[in-house]
Homo-oligomer: A and B are copies of this chain.
Amino acid sequence: MTNRRFHSAKQIRADVRSSIITGPTTGMAEGYTQANVVILKKEFAFDFLLFCQRNPKACPILEVTNPGEFLIKRTAENADIRTDVPAYRIYEDGVYSKEVDNIVNYWEDDMVAFLLGCSFTFETALMENNIPIRHIEENANVPMYQTNISCDRTEAFSGPLVVSMRPMTAQNAIRATQITSRFPDVHGSPVHIGTPEEIGISDIYSPDFGDPPIIKDGELPVFWACGVTPQAVAMNSKPPLMITHAPGCMFVSDIKDQTLSVL
């Protein structure tokens, strides 16, 4: 299997477009920001953009296209949102109907694409600061939990905040808070540290999504707002048509992770 860690984002997108890459993009094009994708018809676009604005930790916006424009202009060059994601999921009236490798035949003239920041970027920054990321060490999926924290709702969109969890020492939790605070466009600082029950998580070893965690003695669970939130919320509101990336199959942008640092 080709190691694509040192490929450019552009090369990755070309291989996605020609269906050489059809699965998860984890670990590809190191240093380039990957994005969650949500596509909705214009009718829902104001409400969803407002939802993102009100819930910036869960839904940090990297780019929003003009209605009907399928070319990505701000975060990548020569990118087409209809073909440059390895796998898409189609939701009709909030129900997952199928997975496809491009959406050329689904694209409509009034569709708006939202590219949202993803935790891959801050995990890279944490690892570069010698903070080990357990699920990456274990080659597992990050554990994710539905919380008792309600997102700030809009007319059409509402739902609970979904968080991801990374166990670490107290010292690393402090350093990780500093580091991720510098990256508001990829979820930013943690939303909670320790005491899972306070945010409605009754069993930390039974995540709602992803794999059960391994938590070592002396480690605290540290929780970040998760990019699954906007998809879950959008699904909740049952728009007639919504298209997202398939889990782990992200849009690889030309943005270098480090340029997202605010300080």
**Cα distance A258–B54 when bound, in Å?**
19
Q: Are B184 and A262 in contact (CB under 8 A)?
A: yes
**Cα distance A182–B54 when bound, in Å?**
20
Which secondary structure characterizes the binding site on chain A? Answer: mixed
**Cα distance A152–B61 when bound, in Å?**
15
Closest B residue to A52 by beta carbon equals B53
B54, B64, B67, B263: the one contacting A53 at CB < 8 Å is: B64
Q: Which of A18-26, A42-50, A84-92 has 4 or more CB atoms under 8 Å from chain B? A: A42-50
Copy number in the complex reads 2
Known: A154-B66, A182-B263, A184-B262. A53 touches B46 (CB 8 A): no
Chain A residues 8-52 with CB under 8 Å of chain B are 42, 45-46, 49-50
Check A109 for interface membership: any CB of B closer than 8 A. Answer: no
**5 tightest Cβ-Cβ pairs between the two chains A and B:** A46-B46, A49-B49, A45-B46, A66-B155, A50-B64
Binding site for B on A (CB under 8 A): 42, 45-46, 49-50, 53-54, 61, 64, 66-67, 74, 152, 154-155, 181-182, 184, 262-263
